[in-house]
Amino acid sequence: MRKALTDKTLDALKPQAKRYEVHDLHCPGLSVRVSPEGRKTFTVKYRFGLLQKRLTIGVYPRTTLAKARERAIEAMRQVEEGSNPTRRREPAFIVETVVADFIRQYAKPRNRKWMESERILNREFVATFGQTDIRHIKRAHLLEIMDAAIDRGSSYQANRILANVRKLLNWCLERGIIEVNPAAGIKAPTKEISRDRVLSDNELKALLRACLNDTYPFRQYVPILLATATRRAELAEMRWSEIDGDKWIIPGDRAKNGKPHVVPLSAFAKEKLAEVPRFLDCDLVFTTTRRTPISGFTKAVRRLSEGSETSGWRLHDLRRTAASGMARAGVSPHVVERVLNHTSGIISGVAAVYNRYGYDREKAEAIEEWGDFLAAKAS
């Protein structure tokens, strides 16, 4: 299929059962491949000697149509001069390979959130520059993907992109893969403001009732997230084997502070857990694949916001809402901190060294009282 590609044309390309390709009438050799998942990848085809080659040059819209045409023209220029654009990159130094090595050798052994780093790097960096020699990455390339995130309204994501790419490139610098880190000196594009969003009682009531009209997994996941005051990822990765009666024990390798965290389960939380379907071949509580924890949080929040006629909240705000609700009910600050599994705050310094009492009874009472409050709102 041949078309005069424009942004409007590219946006209108819909996924089909099989991958298909559209060739650009305005730039010979340039085409866009549309996968069944809707991924739109720019490639340039050329003939080098007797062989036909294909070079991946970016993913739309992170790589703009104008940028794709520019890279395609540059590749064709190299061919005309007798150079093979793909041969210039040594496999060991292409971005895709280096990122995979970084995740396996550095991020995974040291960072409990390595999967988030892997997701950001693959989605933002590899998708655009995957077949580029990392030694050829310039400051302008990094600004390009950060600007693309800002343009699509993900200004905080631009900060995350910079942080993860900078860490990757520092690793490359230490290993002698690159001589200079192009991310050095780049400032975070967006000033982040600490959130203070707490849902009101009426908003909680509307949200919990909206959950009743939703389906698994978020029908149960959101109320349990509120009831346990845990972090989004901690609950998403919950295992049935971690539940022991009225307690859920989060292992240290999944807790943010690296220490096992005992989470009391209120009657309200256990009622919601009882609704969750259990798969015989999977230990995960919240999964749609039976292999990986749930995802799709942004869509779920959007759907529940519309259903409850609330706005401006994120899943992490539910943790703050729970802490505020317990404090309002008279729960002592140090008990709230233990519920949240915080290691600093009211009890810190020397006191924290000597005070090893876990406040398990007080935590359970606070969680139960908060659960009763949520149950009343949900009814």
Closest to 35 measured CA to CA, from 23, 22, 48, 52: 22
- According to DSSP, the residues that pair with 261 across neighbouring strands are 250
**Strands 247-250 and 261-264, bridge-based pairing:** antiparallel
**pLDDT value for 347:** 45
Kind and range of the H or E element at 7? helix 7-12
One of 1.25.60, 3.40.50, 1.10.150, 1.20.120 is the CATH number of 92-174, namely 1.10.150
CATH number at 201-378:
1.10.443.10
Residue 258: per-residue pLDDT: 74
Q: Any bridge partners for residue 47, and if so which?
A: 52
Q: Do 294 and 300 meet the contact criterion of CB atoms below 8 Å apart?
A: no
SS (H, E, C) 338-364: HHHCCCCCCCCHHHHHHCCCCCHHHHH
Q: Report the pLDDT value the prediction gives residue 350, as an integer from 0 to 100.
A: 38
Q: Rounded to an integer, what distance in angstroms lies between the CA atom of residue 104 and that of residue 351?
A: 39
Bridge partners, 43 (sequence order): 31, 56
pLDDT number for residue 242: 96
Please tell me the number of Cα atoms within 13 Å of 204 on its side-chain side.
27
Note the pLDDT of residue 305.
Answer: 96
For domain 2-86, say whether CATH 3.40.1830.10 is its number. no
- Strands across the sheet containing 20-24: 2-3, 20-24, 30-34, 40-48, 51-60
Q: Which residues have CB under 8 Å from 77's CB, separation 6+?
A: none
Domain ranges of the chain: 2-86, 92-174, 201-378
Distance CA 92, CA 292 (A): 30
The pLDDT value given to residue 99: 94
Count of residues making up the chain = 379
Q: What is the pLDDT of residue 336?
A: 94
What is the mean pLDDT, run by run of 10 residues, along the chain of 379 residues? 89 90 91 89 84 83 88 86 66 86 90 84 89 89 88 84 94 90 90 83 96 96 97 94 95 80 96 95 94 91 95 93 96 92 56 54 95 95
Q: For the whole model, what pTM was predicted?
A: 0.59
Q: What's the gap between Cα 285 and its chain centre?
A: 20
pLDDT at 355: 43
DSSP letters spanning 47-90: EETTEEEEEEEEEETTS-HHHHHHHHHHHHHHHHTT--TTTTS-
Predicted pLDDT at 351: 41
Go through 210-243 and write b for each residue having 16 or more CB atoms within 10 A of its CB, e for each that does not: bbeebeebbbbbbbbbbbbbbbebbbbbbbeebb
Say how far residue 298 (Cα) sits from the centre of its chain: 10
pLDDT at 353: 40
3-class secondary structure, 133: strand
Phi, psi of 127 (to 5 degrees): -60, -30
pLDDT at site 62: 80
pLDDT score for 352: 42
Distance CA 330, CA 337 (A): 13
